[in-house]
Structure 1
Amino acid sequence: MSAKSIEHLDGIGPLAERYQVFLLDQFGVLHDGQAPYPGAVEALSALKRAGKTVVLISNSGKRARPNEDRLLKLGFAAGSWDHFVSSGEVAWRRFHEMATNGALRPGTKCLLISRDGDRTAIEGLPFVLAETGQDAELVLISASEGDRQDLDHYRRLLAPAAARQVPCFCTNPDRIMLTAVGPRFGAGEIADLYESLGGSVTRIGKPYPAIFDAALALAGEPERGDVVCIGDSVEHDISGGNGAGIATALVLSGILAGISDLAAIFDEQQAWPTYITGSFSFR
């Protein structure tokens, strides 16, 4: 694919005429973490009124329910999506299965890297929280406080675990996150740091297949030609959609807002969207 073959749209209206199943990112498409983007609440409801299957697919380290509760608080209508798949939910179910079949020992000491002390990522799992990397037996990176801490903070915390080759899981592979003070480094950047310190990381979320497989399963295993993935990240949404064999639409309201040289990003990531639109609005 090349830049010449990418179709530019004014909104998602034409997509509703062409596709039945919509896999939608949330941060950067529906909202910025603080408020919905103009037209997004109405557009999401319009897709459901049009009879579309809507699956929200997010690189959030939190489980599905806390994410859905936040959308309701932001003003999105209950029932305007069918399913919510977060990388945190996929990871939780994987850990739960490991605990059930004995692959995860009860009382495993987990160093949880989260935000605002949030522990929902491990609730109901047989983990004991580790205070530092010194005694951790597993590291779980579910979120970043990159707007409050610098990378050196995480380097000091993680270096002892990385030196001992403690297995690490990252349930939010996004390297950049939107915050009230602008873009800051995300959990994916912390995972990269862990690898630079000598540790190894298993990443769960977009662009990796497991989260797309989970979303498509919930949508009823539709024909791939009936599905479009809409997101604001070339690295995660567009690359992941390309890998899943589905159409993709890049929204320029999130981390790429104001970026002029999109072609360079497509070439760097070796991922190209089917469509580009300025916003997630029903036009």
Structure 2
Amino acid sequence: MTETITGLHDVADRFDAFLIDQFGVLRDGAGPYPQAPAELKKLRALGKKIIILSNSGKRSVENSVRLAKLGFDEACWDWFLTSGETAWRMMAAETDGGARKRCLLISRDGDTSPLDGLDYNRTEDADTADIVLIAASEGDRYDLGHYQTLLQPAAERGLRCLCTNPDKVMLTADGKAFGAGRIADLYEELGGAVTWIGKPFPDIYDQAKIFLGAIPPRRICAIGDSVEHDIAGARMAGIASILVETGIHAEASPTERAALFALHEAAPDFILPDFRL
């Protein structure tokens, strides 16, 4: 049964480690929630292991630096684990030492970091690509028709596609827009097959558990704003979860949230108004 709490102090002694979502918990598309940097520091002062667990197509280091530039103290987390980092490690392990392959990369603002250091060259031509990597969305700039035109030839050729950001909705400075996960849905609608990496899928949780070592799952708690990704992912990983009322479901009524719990067969253990100790 879901319990409403006023702050993490109500449950902090039950857990040794927290997996904390970035967007919707610590920040929105414009910047950090006002109290979040100080509250994260308070949680860290309790001696908890903290992993920032994010469905970002960018690698871990870039996200960590970006969050620090927004006023967060990098000493407050042990690792910034992203779906992009998970995918990069998977792709690096698959390198066979042969000729460099061509990747149709879907990212934001020309970002190529998901491929940096890998044996892949970026291409914008689906007819010559060997693989598709959907790392981010520019749904605040383009409509889905733009992505259909770009991806349809790849889907028709049956190219393997990795989605390293399963979020269907993203928070931008101007509000909500469709995320990379929606573009990956489109690829499947066009007949292509997608390998999903990130929350709620197991690979990212497996890496987090390995990093946390001997801490048992019952002493690990995920904090997120998305029922579909954070809460469902925590349930499948066998760990506790807290849903904050900020982020993508901020305007949802209790009835609407309950419907989401039923839809995704995942109810949080706790509900928290916003991220605070």
Shorter-chain TM-score above 0.5? yes
Q: Tell me which of 55, 58, 74 is aligned to 1:59.
A: 55
* 1:98-152: CA deviation from partner (whole Å, max 9, x where unpaired): 01xx2x7431110000000000100000111112212111000000000000000
Q: Which runs of 4+ in 1 moved over 4 A?
A: none
Partner residue of 2:76?
80
Q: Tell me which of 237, 250, 263 is aligned to 1:257.
A: 250
* 1:229-258: CA deviation from partner (whole Å, max 9, x where unpaired): 000011111001001111100011100001
* 1:67-118: CA deviation from partner (whole Å, max 9, x where unpaired): 001111100012011111100001001111101xx2x743111000000000
* 1:169-194: CA deviation from partner (whole Å, max 9, x where unpaired): 00000000001111110000000000
Structure 1 residue 96 and structure 2 residue 92: aligned? yes
Counterpart CA distance in 2 for 1:116 and 1:36 is 21
Code of the residue aligned with 2:225 in structure 1: it is D
Structure 1 residue 166 and structure 2 residue 159: aligned? yes
Partner residue of 1:28?
24
SS in 1 for 2:113: coil
> What is the CA distance between 1:33 and its match in structure 2?
3.0
Partner residue of 1:219?
212
Code of the residue aligned with 1:133 in structure 2: it is A
- Gaps in structure 1 of 5+ consecutive residues: none
* Deviating more after overlay: 126-135 vs 154-163: 126-135
Q: In the alignment, is the contact (CA less than 8 A) between 1:115 and 1:143 conserved in 2?
A: yes
Partner residue of 1:269?
264
Aligned length: 275
Query: What TM-score, normalized by structure 2, do the two folds share?
Result: 0.97
SS in 2 for 1:36: coil
Give identity over the alignment, percent: 50
Query: What TM-score, normalized by structure 1, do the two folds share?
Result: 0.95
> What is the CA distance between 1:9 and its match in structure 2?
1.0
> What is the CA distance between 1:41 and its match in structure 2?
0.6
> What is the CA distance between 1:12 and its match in structure 2?
1.6
Code of the residue aligned with 2:69 in structure 1: it is K
Counterpart CA distance in 2 for 1:111 and 1:149 is 17
Q: Tell me which of 128, 135, 150 is aligned to 2:128.
A: 135
Structure 1 residue 106 and structure 2 residue 99: aligned? yes
Structure 1 residue 156 and structure 2 residue 149: aligned? yes
